[in-house]
């Protein structure tokens, strides 16, 4: 019982003064309920009104009578459906029943339906007793007091051990001694499991702010300086648990000083990829058979390593390698990565807990959540270190093995994430780290018969191509099953401003949404719809706030805007700016500049257009370019608002994020209804970016992906295959059913 006591003390210490303190009894009741899933006879009722024809009824619900000592004597109200209640819920309902019993407020219904009785005699000093069965029940449990006793541990060392005295009585006409003993063993194991396998309380990782003069800023600056000095890092491929440097080596340039590289990385050949798949599949049996608590511990430890030991290193790699400023790196590579690792454990436990809600008499129904048959392929993006960590980690937590192809533009940070996972205890062959040419690696993976799932974040065009390749292979019967396809892609995310909006708030959130991390977030604001009635006020504010943004290397903490990720992105964005100069439908109101001489810098740029369906309002740039359309609300504001909602919905193929700014509640409701399918993440009076794990599950539909919602139980469910199991305890004695008998 020592583990139970330790757990109770931990939970009680964190409980508020208004919350019920936990005793031993809720754990005992839950353990008894778990034992009855294996031994339903003890939850049965024996009716002997007719001695010649006694009737034995199996009770599906675990309705436990719990004896309460009151001034007027012992009362036994019934706690119903214990099998469906959590420990905390059992505790809360026990408190309610006890208070009603002692105040004389129990109703007849509170005493009915009992299938078993638990008598808690420990609080009145009871020890070993012979509890009396209450017919028609066939069993009763007496719970005595706990006490410390001398005992020997597994090393034969004398220790003090807490012991809880439990006394069973059963009707020998139904239950023999072996059944009682077996049930008691299951209950004992259940109590131990309740104590040992509870996921620790999960909270969002607190953010650091790196204020001027703070120790955090000094440590982060030192980490960046050290990384600069050590660059380029040599990143190998990892196949069969072995690090290998190949002859084919590529570079990951610093995006703010592209003549130098932060990493040089080995590129896997087709044979390397095949070897990595074989290695992963060999590791599958041992990894998936490992208890969930052990798999969960790996990722919980990894989160603590990110939060503490490696926080500044992972941020430095993200800032220098991917061009993020300190705050953007903090909320991504530190906080969100921790959150994914921790909350996924919570979501996995919730998923495993989804079990059948009913068992017929003499039957135990249960569901097993099996890892997928085969391996998972994770293709990760450059723009979020947290997503790069989550894509291979989420399926691995569920017992899957993974082939991970990291982005060439995030190799330094991704390599560190992989090393952190290994340090946390992940077996080296569970996740194969396989950098390489995207086409060659993918071709080898998708041609393998045991390919089971794709976990992808990246461009829409690539995802559609992958989806098509997998579909063709399915049609040709190349796979042993139907691979799961999970993808989060692009967005043409909108801000809609209503005439009742707070203009300052809408402006600040629009500038942040459009230009944080240079607009390289899937959720970045790239089109905005302002009412004509507010535009004259808002326009100069947008220009002023945008012009305030300093541009340069993330190594200088006052730079808000860093470089875009690589030459391909720079060329695309600078080309768009050049094309806009001759476009009569676009008016550049701020920005429109770029400089690629040393780093890939694109100035934050805002265009105004009079064409609501201009290509700039439809095409994803994935950079710091925002286009504004001003809709006329001066004549019929309500109709104009409805019309612009329809325009927003029909203009883009994407449906990832969107935000509405209004103080008028009806305006918010109107937008929610009319833009219901226009965004998977919908924001009211805040920017279209910034989803937090555990608070806003993230993902969109239409061209934006499969909307499986990273940071949710739903995502974890995509990496398991359910098996329903029915076990019957009572033998059938006839082929015929009652309806067949005349």
User: What is the fold, at CATH topology level, of the domain defined by 493-697?
Assistant: Aldehyde Dehydrogenase; Chain A, domain 2 (3.40.309)
- pLDDT category at 293 given cuts 50, 70, 90 is confident
Helix (H) or strand (E) holding 251: strand 249-254
Give the DSSP per-residue string, 265-283: EE---HHHHHHHHHHHHHH
Instruction: Tell me what pLDDT residue 84 has.
Output: 79
Whose tokens are 């001398």? That residue is 150
Verify whether residue 488 is a known catalytic residue: yes
Does residue 232 have a cis bond before it (omega within 30 degrees)? yes
pLDDT tens-digit profile of 122-176?
Answer: 655 555 667 888 889 988 988 887 777 776 655 566 667 777 778 888 888 888 8
Of 88 and 627, the structure prediction assigns the larger pLDDT to 627
Instruction: Tell me what pLDDT residue 164 has.
Output: 77
8-state DSSP, 22 = P
Instruction: Tell me what pLDDT residue 49 has.
Output: 85
Instruction: Tell me what pLDDT residue 253 has.
Output: 99
Highest mean pLDDT of the ranges 5-14, 36-45, 103-112, 242-251? 242-251
pLDDT tens-digit profile of 637-663?
Answer: 999 999 999 999 999 999 999 999 999
Give dist(CA 524, CA 279) in Å, integer: 39
Please give the backbone phi and psi of residue 74, each rounded to the nearest 5 degrees, phi first. -85, 125
Give dist(CA 738, CA 360) in Å, integer: 17
pLDDT tens-digit profile of 241-290?
Answer: 899 999 999 999 999 999 999 999 999 999 999 999 999 999 999 999 98
25-29, 163-167, 221-225, 628-632: range with lowest mean pLDDT = 163-167
Q: pLDDT averaged over the chain?
A: 92
Instruction: Tell me what pLDDT residue 145 has.
Output: 77
CATH superfamily of the domain spanning 2-196: Chloramphenicol acetyltransferase-like domain (3.30.559.10)
Tokens of 457: 């974040």
Locate the DSSP E strands across 334-490: 363-371, 375-379, 402-405, 431-433, 451-457, 484-488
Instruction: Tell me what pLDDT residue 208 has.
Output: 98
pLDDT tens-digit profile of 345-364?
Answer: 999 999 998 999 888 888 88
- pLDDT category at 92 given cuts 50, 70, 90 is confident
Instruction: Tell me what pLDDT residue 192 has.
Output: 57
Instruction: Tell me what pLDDT residue 129 has.
Output: 64
Of 426 and 166, the structure prediction assigns the larger pLDDT to 426
Domain boundaries, the chain: 2-196, 218-251+260-489+713-723, 493-697
Q: Residue 18 pLDDT > 60, yes or no?
A: no
pLDDT tens-digit profile of 507-543?
Answer: 999 999 999 999 999 999 999 999 999 999 999 999 9
701-to-293, 402, 533, 654 alpha-carbon distances in Å:
34, 25, 33, 7
Q: What is the CATH number of domain 218-251+260-489+713-723?
A: 3.40.605.10
- Picking from 253, 249, 274, 270, the residue whose alpha carbon sits closest to that of residue 262 is 253
Does residue 136 have a cis bond before it (omega within 30 degrees)? yes
Cβ atoms of 64 and 32 within 8 Å: the answer is: yes
Q: Residue 733 pLDDT > 70, yes or no?
A: yes
Cβ atoms of 402 and 287 within 8 Å: the answer is: no
Cβ atoms of 688 and 495 within 8 Å: the answer is: yes
Give dist(CA 720, CA 397) in Å, integer: 10
pLDDT tens-digit profile of 319-342?
Answer: 999 999 999 999 999 999 999 999
Instruction: Tell me what pLDDT residue 181 has.
Output: 77
Whose tokens are 């214990």? That residue is 82
Instruction: Tell me what pLDDT residue 191 has.
Output: 61
pLDDT tens-digit profile of 192-211?
Answer: 555 556 677 899 999 999 99
- Picking from 101, 99, 90, 88, the residue whose alpha carbon sits closest to that of residue 62 is 90
Give dist(CA 552, CA 555) in Å, integer: 8
Q: Which of 330, 488, 516, 545 is catalytic?
A: 488
Beta bridge partners of 655: 701
- Picking from 542, 517, 516, the residue whose alpha carbon sits closest to that of residue 528 is 542
pLDDT tens-digit profile of 21-67?
Answer: 778 788 888 888 888 877 888 889 998 888 888 888 888 889 999 98
pLDDT tens-digit profile of 391-422?
Answer: 999 999 999 999 999 999 999 999 999 999 99
Q: Residue 179 pLDDT > 90, yes or no?
A: no
Q: What is the mean pLDDT of residues 534-556?
A: 99
């Amino acid at each position: 019982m020592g583990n139970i006591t330790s757990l109770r003390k931990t939970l009680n210490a964190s409980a508020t003064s208004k919350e019920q303190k936990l005793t031993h009894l809720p754990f005992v009741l839950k353990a008894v309920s778990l034992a009855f899933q294996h031994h339903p006879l003890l939850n049965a009722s024996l009716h002997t009104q007719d001695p010649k024809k006694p009737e034995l009824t199996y009770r599906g619900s675990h309705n436990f009578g719990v004896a309460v000592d009151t001034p007027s004597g012992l009362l036994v109200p019934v706690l119903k459906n214990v099998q469906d209640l959590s420990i905390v819920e059992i505790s809360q309902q026990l408190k309610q029943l006890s208070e009603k019993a002692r105040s004389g407020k129990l109703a007849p219904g509170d005493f009915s339906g009992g299938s078993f009785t638990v008598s808690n005699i420990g609080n009145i000093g009871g020890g070993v007793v012979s509890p009396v069965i209450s017919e028609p029940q066939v069993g009763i449990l007496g719970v005595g007091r706990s006490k410390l006793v001398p005992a020997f541990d597994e090393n034969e060392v004398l220790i003090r051990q807490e012991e809880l005295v439990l006394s069973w009585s059963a009707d020998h006409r139904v239950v023999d001694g072996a059944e009682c003993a077996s049930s008691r063993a299951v209950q004992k194991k259940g109590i131990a499991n309740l104590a040992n396998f509870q996921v620790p309380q999960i909270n969002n990782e607190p953010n650091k702010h790196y204020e001027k003069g703070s120790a955090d800023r000094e440590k982060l600056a030192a980490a960046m300086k050290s990384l600069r000095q050590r660059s380029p890092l040599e990143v190998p491929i990892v196949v069969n648990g072995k690090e290998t440097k190949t002859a084919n080596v590529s570079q990951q340039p610093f995006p703010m000083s592209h003549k130098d590289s932060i990493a040089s990385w080995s590129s896997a050949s087709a044979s390397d990829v095949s070897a990595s798949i074989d290695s992963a599949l060999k590791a599958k049996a041992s990894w998936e058979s490992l208890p969930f608590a052990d798999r969960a511990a790996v990722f919980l430890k990894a989160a603590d390593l990110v939060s503490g030991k490696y926080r500044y290193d992972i941020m430095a790699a993200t800032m220098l390698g991917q061009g993020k400023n300190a705050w953007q790196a903090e909320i991504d590579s530190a906080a969100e990565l921790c959150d994914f690792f921790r909350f996924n454990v919570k979501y996995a436990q919730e998923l495993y807990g989804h079990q059948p809600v009913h068992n017929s008499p003499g039957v135990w129904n249960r569901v097993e959540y099996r890892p997928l048959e085969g391996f998972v392929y994770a293709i990760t993006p450059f723009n979020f270190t947290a997503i790069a960590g989550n894509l291979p980690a989420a399926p691995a937590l569920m017992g899957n093995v993974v082939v991970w192809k990291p982005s060439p533009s995030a190799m330094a940070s991704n390599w560190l994430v992989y090393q952190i996972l290994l340090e946390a205890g992940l077996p080296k062959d569970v996740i194969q780290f396989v950098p390489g040419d995207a086409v060659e690696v993918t071709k080898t993976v998708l041609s393998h018969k045991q390919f089971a799932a794709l976990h992808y974040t990246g461009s829409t065009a690539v995802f559609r191509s992958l989806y098509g390749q997998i579909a063709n292979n399915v049609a040709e019967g190349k796979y042993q099953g139907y691979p799961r396809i999970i993808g989060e892609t692009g967005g043409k995310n909108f801000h809609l401003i209503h005439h009742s909006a707070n203009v300052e708030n809408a402006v600040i959130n629009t500038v942040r949404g459009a230009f944080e991390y240079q607009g390289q977030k899937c959720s970045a604001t790239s089109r905005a719809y302002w009412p004509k009635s507010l535009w004259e006020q808002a326009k100069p504010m947008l220009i002023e706030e945008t012009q305030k943004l300093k541009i340069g290397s993330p190594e200088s903490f006052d730079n808000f805007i860093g470089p875009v990720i690589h030459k391909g992105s720079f060329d695309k964005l600078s080309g768009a700016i050049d094309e806009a100069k001759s476009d009569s439908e676009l008016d550049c109101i701020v920005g429109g500049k770029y400089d690629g001489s040393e780093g890939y810098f694109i100035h934050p740029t805002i265009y105004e257009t009079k064409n609501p369906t201009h290509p700039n309002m439809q095409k994803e740039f994935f950079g710091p370019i925002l286009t504004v359309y001003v809709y006329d609300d001066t004549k019929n504001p309500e109709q104009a608002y409805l019309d612009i909602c329809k325009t927003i919905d029909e203009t883009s193929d994407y449906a990832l994020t969107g935000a509405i700014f209004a103080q008028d509640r009806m305006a918010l409701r109107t937008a929610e209804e009319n833009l219901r399918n226009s965004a998977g993440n919908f924001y009211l009076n805040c920017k279209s970016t910034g989803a937090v794990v555990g608070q806003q599950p993230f993902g969109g539909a239409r061209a934006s992906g499969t909307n499986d919602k990273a940071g949710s139980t739903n995502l974890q469910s995509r990496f398991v295959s359910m098996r329903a199991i029915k076990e019957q305890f009572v033998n059938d004695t006839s082929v015929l059913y009652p309806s067949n008998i005349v």
